[in-house]
Amino acid sequence: MTGITDLGTLLRDMRPDLRPGDYVYCSVPAQETGWWSLEPIGFFREDEGLTLIVEKTAADKAGLAYGPVMRCITLTVHSALEAVGLTAAVAVALTRHGISANVVAAYHHDHIFVPAKDAERALAALAEAAPVLT
């Protein structure tokens, strides 16, 4: 199945879904082993080490340091990796409400990590903005 590139269609059909659970970003040395047992939902290799996105409970159990506690909103529309404007539109909608966003694009969907305290407001802001942005 091919992802959607048309911005109007993406915004109209994005159907934001708030995933259960709290997530955190952690950093571990690149040479460290065993991090896979934390079952990260995302990771990225940087020069400074591996950035892991894991459930807060897993980070706590492993004794890892982390920053803010986040929630994950998945845009359930199948967005193409080469689609133009979706990330910008989401960022604008959330910025209007003073909500920070960390977007992770995966093969099928975009996932927006927002501060846990703002998750419900973010979901409402995205739902409110979808018809306005199309």
Give mean pLDDT, residues 5-13: 84
Which residues are CB-neighbours of 124 under 8 A, at least 6 positions away?
A: none
C-alpha–C-alpha distance, residues 14 and 3, integer Å: 12
Angle between helices 119-133 and 86-95 (to 10 degrees): 120
pLDDT reading at 130 higher than 80? no
pLDDT at 1: 66
130, 94 contact by CB (below 8 A): no
What tokens were used for 133? Answer: 């942005």
- pLDDT tens for 72-122 read 999 998 988 888 888 999 999 999 999 999 999 999 999 999 999 999 999
Mean pLDDT value across the chain:
91
Q: What global pTM score does this model have?
A: 0.90
Other CB atoms within a 10 A radius of the CB of residue 20 amount to 7
pLDDT at 82: 86
pLDDT at 132: 57
Give mean pLDDT, residues 63-68: 96
In the chain, % of residues over pLDDT 90: 69
